[in-house]
Amino acid sequence: MKKLILRTVLVFLCLLGIQNSRAQDINFNDSWSFFNDKAPGAEKPNFDDSKWRELNLPHDWAIEGPFDIKYNARAGGLPFHGTGWYRKNFKLSSDKKGKVVRVEFEGAMYDAHVWVNGQFVGNRPYGYIGFEFDISKYLKFGNENNVIAVRLEPKDLSSRWYPGAGLYRSVWLKIDEPVYVGQWGTYIATPTVSDKLGVVQNETTVENKSNQKAKVVVKHDYVSPAGITVASIDDEIEVPANSSAVSATYTNIKNPKIWDIDSPNLYEVVTTIVQNGKIVDSYSSKIGLRSISFDTDGFYLNGKKVRFNGVCLHHDNGALGSAVYKRADERKLQIMKNMGVNAIRTSHNPPSREFLEVCDELGLLVLDEAFDTWKVEKVPNGYNVFFEEWAERDLKDMIKRDRNHPSIIMWSTGNEIHEQHDKKNGWKVAKMLHEYCVEMDPTRPSTFGMNNFEAPYKMNFAQQADIAGINYKPTKYKYIHETYPQLALYGSETSSCTSSRGIYHLPIEKYETHESLHVTSYDIIGPPWAYPPDVEFHFQEQNPNIMGEFIWTGFDYLGEPTPYGGKDNSTNGYWNGHWPSHASYFGAVDMCGFPKDRFYLYQSHWTTKPMIHLLPHWNWKGMEGETIPVYCYTNLDAAELFVNGKSMGKKVKGKDLTELIVKFSRYEGDSFQSKYRLSWEVPYQAGNIKVVGYKNGKIVKEEQIFTAGKPAKVSLSVDRKEIAADGSDLSYVTVKVLDKNGNLCPDADNLVQFSLRGEGEIVGVDNGNQISLEPFQAKQRKAFSGMCLAIIKSTKKAGKIKLTANSKGLKRSTVSITTK
């Protein structure tokens, strides 16, 4: 009966999507004390922290602000550096004495030092990698109190984007018998996968912290996506005293449900350790049965060629900062899938566990990236400070943690590494990191992204990875492939187009910066290396051997406000020259998750479900009779534009071209004829514009934009009206300022005030405006281009949440959310 209960709990954990879990692990996120400054003696158990702030994890202290020009706009203009202390009191019952007790931090930003009951336990510098410490010998049991203290010291000029600060991922307390499955202890591969048979190879590391050797039975139960046990296998091994041993087995699964982009089937593997007839540990893993292969012709998933419709994503979630909420990552990735994305590059660091779980569940391919820097610095206090001592362990731990995820298809050891210029030693470092990848997981290739041309190829650097990532060199794809035919290639960063949602500057022109500190959404502006998406589409089609692309970026992110602020190595690391610009313009989606026009350009190229999108807005008071460029993005055959009911002509996609102003590195000419956009030049007159899309001569889709009147009301819409009462689930509420007829007011910047009643709290507000200095943690927000956002978090009590939005002079709106 005990085994049945334990198994039921494990299956429940898996249904929640928790990878590499065990029933006895205790979530350690609640009831921490926090102090944001130096606190001499805070590691001591009797230290007085009664005046410290009480909070629950995950926590990012920097996102609380305030924004200030004294901080670096390149890192978001927020106070992420300094010292932060976390302390937690806890008790352990006497029956826990003699067990192995570990504390696991999924991420701590950064340079974490940990004490238990005043004894120093250990240090881990890299903020993006998880780690654990065995704290058994430091603990007290019974009615005695234990204190864990954590000091974090993020440094200025340690990141090229917003890293966040604090215990921003979950913490776990693990309590085990002396014999147990080690940290990230299962390594599960699928060497053979077909519709008829899946061969699953399982290597499980069993730890023995006792002074006697242990004979144990390692049992694996394989549970199908339908919840049916389809295979089981036992393996008897002997584990030496105070050592570890590996149980290696394989299992045949007949007629497996294959993990694929469109059918991301996940199996549960329940690993049970039995000693002297007693279950001493149970450990659950999620896996997907799938095959991957690469060659110079492309990437193959389950034997079928797949091109990467990929995006690069930083780890922050806008108003939430770096604090990890699974729903935030799920929403972000759902939005990306809706754009047509099938692949994610985790730029430029290991992602959270939750992020990878969602990728597994949604069928997204992942390029898992370890570092932005090796030995040679980009910013003075970057990972280069830790590389010599920690790179091997950090890279191997990333792979060990993540290698069971079916979504992961490549290990990236770095991004635009400066060693690519080092003729003598650069290739040696690249080779060393590649060998670590092979040692930990020979089933996936290594890669890195290179922005230099042509030095890394001539200097034997590019050849040290299985697959060469090319950043911003679409015009050189053909040359690289022909000159280095043994290299498998893909666009690891592409386009770098910039824009501000809902902003249109006329006339259309190529400029470096604009006095508004915004960027036009006609999607032609970017830094010197950048180019419109259309250019990459063209060269990808011309070079079918290129595996696809990862655009920079899917979402806007905090920091790196290109084209504003500064440039590498010319402003002493600070990008405050165009303050208050402090956030990215690169995203196809803004930080709220609201699509920009570019979202629909990618959707028109990457999806087949009929779609059509029209831009710009149609509020141009004072410009009556002047010419307005109107663009249409569609995956249909043709489109016809109407202005106030009058046809402006029908355009055929692929035949009627749109001339784009283009000028970027290694491109000859100053324009590009795009077959991916349809366009018209029409005189402005108030009223409406409508575009009608045709497929095989029939109208299948249309979109209409009206000239909006004065703001009259606030509109609320919620992404999910029912969420979990678990204290961490989220509901995103979109706020629009509308005229009396329900049209979005595209220039509206009304201040919207929120009030909430019930079992929830407002944990973030935003509007996607890269120059707004309004706090993210507030109960009000100005609209930007007519829209803003409120993020609601549940409590741990089931009930109702009622959110009301008010704006002076406008009709209010209310929305209800149920928590269960």
User: What distance in Å separates the CA atoms of residue 550 and residue 343, rounded to the nearest whole number?
Assistant: 8
User: What distance in Å separates the CA atoms of residue 67 and residue 113, rounded to the nearest whole number?
Assistant: 27
Which of 368, 366, 407, 402 shows the shortest CA–CA distance to 264? Answer: 407
User: What distance in Å separates the CA atoms of residue 636 and residue 282, rounded to the nearest whole number?
Assistant: 53
Which of 176, 133, 134, 169 shows the shortest CA–CA distance to 22? Answer: 176
User: What distance in Å separates the CA atoms of residue 166 and residue 185, rounded to the nearest whole number?
Assistant: 27
User: What distance in Å separates the CA atoms of residue 106 and residue 168, rounded to the nearest whole number?
Assistant: 8
Which of 412, 424, 418 shows the shortest CA–CA distance to 465? Answer: 412
User: What distance in Å separates the CA atoms of residue 76 and residue 576, rounded to the nearest whole number?
Assistant: 10
DSSP label at residue 685: -
The token pair that represents 808 in the structure block = 């002076």
- Asked whether the CA dihedral 345, 347, 353, 354 is positive or negative, the reply is negative
Torsion-angle region of 164 (φ positive above 0: left; ψ -120 to 50: alpha; else: beta):
left
DSSP label at residue 491: E
Instruction: Give one DSSP letter per residue of 593-643, joined into a string.
Output: S-B-HHHHHHHHHH--S--EEEES-S--TT-TTSEEEEEEEESSSEEEEEE
DSSP label at residue 442: T
The token pair that represents 541 in the structure block = 């089609």
Q: Could you tell me the end-to-end alpha-carbon distance of the chain, in angstroms, rounded to an integer? A: 29
Kindly provide the b/e burial profile for residues 30-41, where b requires at least 16 CB atoms within 10 angstroms of the residue's own CB.
Answer: eebbbbbeebee
Count of C-beta atoms within a 10 Å radius of residue 480: 20
Q: Please give the angle made by the CA atoms of 688, 633 and 345, to the nearest 5 degrees.
A: 135
Beta strand 197-208 with 243-254 is antiparallel
Q: Please give the angle made by the CA atoms of 567, 573 and 575, to the nearest 5 degrees.
A: 60
Is residue 416 part of the annotated active site? The answer reads: yes
Strands in 53-55's sheet, in edge-to-edge order, are: 53-55, 32-35, 84-90, 146-152, 112-116, 119-124
User: What distance in Å separates the CA atoms of residue 753 and residue 764, rounded to the nearest whole number?
Assistant: 13
| Phi (first) and psi of residue 526, to 5 degrees | -170, 170
- Most distant CA atoms of the chain, gap in Å: 90
Which of 759, 754, 721 shows the shortest CA–CA distance to 735? Answer: 754
User: What distance in Å separates the CA atoms of residue 504 and residue 614, rounded to the nearest whole number?
Assistant: 13
Instruction: Give one DSSP letter per residue of 519-588, joined into a string.
Output: --TTS----TT---HHHHHHHHHH-TTS-EEEES-SB--BS--TTSS--TTTSTT---TTTT--B----S
User: What distance in Å separates the CA atoms of residue 634 and residue 677, rounded to the nearest whole number?
Assistant: 8
Catalytic residue among 493, 703, 759, 774: 493
Q: Do the beta carbons of residue 29 and residue 103 sit within 8 Å?
A: no
Which ranges constitute the DSSP H helices of 200-263?
none
Q: Do the beta carbons of residue 240 and residue 213 sit within 8 Å?
A: yes
Amino acid at 416: E
- Bridge partners for 713 per DSSP: 738, 811
Catalytic residue among 104, 416, 419, 560: 416
Is residue 389 part of the annotated active site? The answer reads: no
The token pair that represents 337 in the structure block = 């899938």
For tokens 């001592």, what's the residue? 389
- Residues identified as active-site: 416, 493
